[in-house]
Amino acid sequence: MIITIDGPAAAGKGTLASKLSKKYNLAYFDTGMVYRAVGLELMLAGISPEDVEKATDFAQKLTFQRMNELSHHSEFRSANGGKYASVVSSYPQVREALLQMQQNFAKNPVFADGSKADGAIYDGRDTGTVVCPHADVKLFITASPEVRAERRYFEFMSRGHQALYADVLEDIKARDKRDSERATAPMKPAEDAVIFDTSALTIDEVYQKAVKIIDSKQ
């Protein structure tokens, strides 16, 4: 079984995907990681995220191993890391270079320890539309920018990052705009996706809703 969960930043995709991966024994791919990894390569090399050629070069060379190494860096999930990721993800050449790597994951889905999974669950912006257009279940999770900024703000705090709520909100709005207005693979629900707004729902309510949808489609 392949499940995709798309939606804007901090809508709760990651939390939901982790819970569902355990319930259905699915290997989880957080696809934002590929863009964060390319952004961080640029940052570490002191190269501007505006440098399309260098970004494409790093994207073409990216491996799972390198992505996992970079994911331990403190800037990987920082506000600045998110900005770099959002900028590089707007380049068609970068998206193209990272597509195969994302699609291959579903061909032989395995957990981090190498054991075999019963399928894959993806989260991102275009996993139901571009990465896995034939997924069995497609969800599109959203919430208001204010609710998402609050969630991201507390996430930064819990990781020990300094942030101001107003800055996080502004950043979320800028990222929404970039993610949904880019020419290649803009963030949008697949035609056959089930859309739900999590602004007024608890994590458990979102999870129960998703389980019902998945069980009804199986």
Q: Tell me which residues touch ligand DC (CB under 6 A).
A: 9, 31-32, 35-36, 82, 85-86, 89, 124-127, 175, 179
Kindly tell me which of 153 and 216 has the beta carbon lying closer to ligand DC: 153
Kindly tell me which of 11 and 210 has the beta carbon lying closer to ligand DC: 11
Give the shortest CB-38-to-ligand DC separation in angstroms.
9
Give the shortest CB-19-to-ligand DC separation in angstroms.
17
Kindly tell me which of 41 and 179 has the beta carbon lying closer to ligand DC: 179
Kindly tell me which of 170 and 215 has the beta carbon lying closer to ligand DC: 170
CA pseudo-torsion sign 12, 161, 90, 147: positive
Which residue blocks in 108-164 are alpha helix, DSSP H? 145-158
Q: How many whole angstroms from its chain centre is CA 143?
A: 15
Kindly tell me which of 31 and 56 has the beta carbon lying closer to ligand DC: 31
Give the shortest CB-23-to-ligand DC separation in angstroms.
21
C-alpha neighbours within 13 Å on the C-beta side of residue 45: 16
Q: What is the Cα–Cα distance from 67 to 69, expressed in whole angstroms?
A: 5
Kindly tell me which of 77 and 109 has the beta carbon lying closer to ligand DC: 77
From residue 65, give the alpha-carbon distance in Å to each of 72, 97, 214: 12, 16, 31
Give the shortest CB-85-to-ligand DC separation in angstroms.
4
Q: Is 205 helix (H, G, I), strand (E, B) or coil?
A: helix
Q: How many CB atoms lie within 10 A of CB 115?
A: 9
Radius of gyration of the chain (CA): 16
Q: Which two tokens stand for residue 38?
A: 């390319």
Q: What secondary structure does DSSP assign to 10-52, as a single string?
A: TSSHHHHHHHHHHHHT-EEEETHHHHHHHHHHHHHTT--TT-H
Give the shortest CB-170-to-ligand DC separation in angstroms.
14
Give the shortest CB-217-to-ligand DC separation in angstroms.
22
